[in-house]
């Protein structure tokens, strides 16, 4: 069976895996974005808190994903839980870092102007600082998504959902007739999903970055 025949045979399973993969990444990204921006907002004004948040987030990233999932399984069991936790944790770093850098990069005279015309602290943040920091935050989200696409494949190790299952099945039966097809289908599927998400982010950028600050 060549690769195309394999795809033709298994497309239903592959589509279901792809959908689950995308859905897991998407949901984890939503959580990571909310958490990441929140952490950024809470820490960017303080030198040490901001640095601590960034360092902690990069610390997590240095843990190999397989090891992290391995460590999570005894704590939360198999399946969705370790997958979600791992993905959210990995997704945090680029978002937290870019949120802090973006918020700190807002021209201080604009913050001064916002205060000066009588904006409350919350209004300054929501109406001025976050919109101006949004382009770098969005970049962080994009980078995080790309990363999670790959990392999500590892989740299959913990019986998580997604295209990783395809890859692991292939790897565990190396030498069998479909092994290569399985690895190839899983990998290509992930690459395709990543490209698709990226296209969506370009669109999101177009829609959400105000015209006045679009590059």
Partner 1 sequence: MPETPVATSGAAAGSGAASASGAASASGAAIRLENLTKQYAGNPYPSVDNVTMEIRAGETVVFVGPSGGGKTTLLKMINRLIEPTSGRIRIDGEDVTDMDPVKLRRKIGYAIQSSGLFPHMTVAQNIALVPKMVGWSKSRVQDRVEEMLDLVGLDPGQFRGRYPRQLSGGQQQRVGVARALAADPPVLLMDEPFGAVDPITRDHLQDELIRLQHELHKTIVFVTHDFDEAIKLGDRIAVLRDRSHIAQFDTPEAILTNPADDFVSGFVGAGAALKRLNLTRVRDVEIADFPTVTVDDPLQDIFDKLRDSQGNELLLLDRHRRPYKWLRRGDLSRAKGSLARAGTLVHDTVTRDATLRDALEAVLIDNGGRVAVTGRRGEYTGVVDMATLMNSVQEMLEADRLEAAEHRSAGGLPEEGLEHPFVRDAGGPEGPA
- CB nearer to partner 1: give 60 or 125: 125
- CB nearer to partner 1: give 15 or 113: 113
Question: What region does 210 belong to: left with phi over 0, alpha with psi -120 to 50, or beta?
Answer: beta
Shortest approach of partner 1 to residue 3 CB, angstroms?
48
132 binds partner 1 (CB under 8 A): yes
47 binds partner 1 (CB under 8 A): no
* Contact (CB, 8 A) for 96 and 39: yes
Tell me which of 4, 75, 175, 212 binds partner 1, using CB under 8 A.
212
**98: CB partners within 8 A, 6+ apart:** 40, 136, 137, 139, 140, 143
208 binds partner 1 (CB under 8 A): no
Q: Residue 78's CB: how many other CB atoms inside 10 A? A: 14
Nearest to 161 by CA among 88, 82, 93, 71: 82
113 binds partner 1 (CB under 8 A): yes
* Contact (CB, 8 A) for 161 and 80: yes
Return the ∠ at Cα 174 (arms to 162 and 72), rounded to 5°: 40
* Contact (CB, 8 A) for 21 and 162: yes
Binders of partner 1 among residues 21 to 40 (CB under 8 A) are none
Tell me which of 4, 48, 62, 118 binds partner 1, using CB under 8 A.
118
126 binds partner 1 (CB under 8 A): no
- CB nearer to partner 1: give 37 or 183: 37
119 binds partner 1 (CB under 8 A): yes
Shortest approach of partner 1 to residue 48 CB, angstroms?
17
Nearest to 132 by CA among 110, 112, 155: 110
Task: Give the interface segment with partner 1, choosing from 28-36, 95-103, 111-119, 139-147 (CB under 8 A).
Answer: 111-119
Shortest approach of partner 1 to residue 202 CB, angstroms?
19
Q: How far is 199 from 60, CA to CA, in rounded Å?
A: 28
Shortest approach of partner 1 to residue 129 CB, angstroms?
10
Q: Is 134 helix (H, G, I), strand (E, B) or coil?
A: helix
* Interaction site with partner 1 (CB under 8 A): 107, 109-110, 112-120, 123, 127-128, 131-132, 210-213
């Amino acid at each position: 069976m060549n690769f195309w025949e394999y795809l033709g045979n298994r497309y239903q399973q592959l589509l279901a895996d792809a959908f689950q993969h995308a859905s897991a990444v998407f949901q984890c990204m939503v959580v990571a974005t909310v958490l990441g921006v929140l952490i950024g907002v809470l820490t960017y004004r303080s030198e040490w808190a901001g640095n601590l948040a960034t360092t902690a987030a990069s610390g997590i990233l240095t843990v190999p994903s397989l090891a992290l999932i391995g460590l999570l399984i005894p704590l939360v069991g198999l399946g969705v839980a370790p997958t979600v936790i791992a993905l959210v944790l990995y997704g945090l770093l680029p978002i937290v870092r870019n949120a802090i850098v973006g918020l700190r990069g807002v021209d201080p005279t604009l913050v001064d102007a916002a205060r000066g015309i009588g904006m409350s602290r919350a209004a300054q943040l929501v109406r001025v600082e976050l919109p101006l920091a949004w382009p770098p935050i969005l970049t962080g989200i994009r980078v995080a998504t790309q990363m999670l696409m790959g990392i999500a494949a590892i989740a299959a190790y913990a019986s998580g959902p997604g295209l990783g299952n395809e890859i692991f099945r292939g790897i565990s039966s190396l030498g069998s007739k479909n092994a290569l097809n399985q690895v190839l289908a899983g990998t290509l599927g992930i690459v395709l999903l990543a490209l698709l998400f990226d296209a969506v982010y370009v669109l999101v950028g177009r829609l959400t970055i105000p015209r006045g600050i679009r590059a």
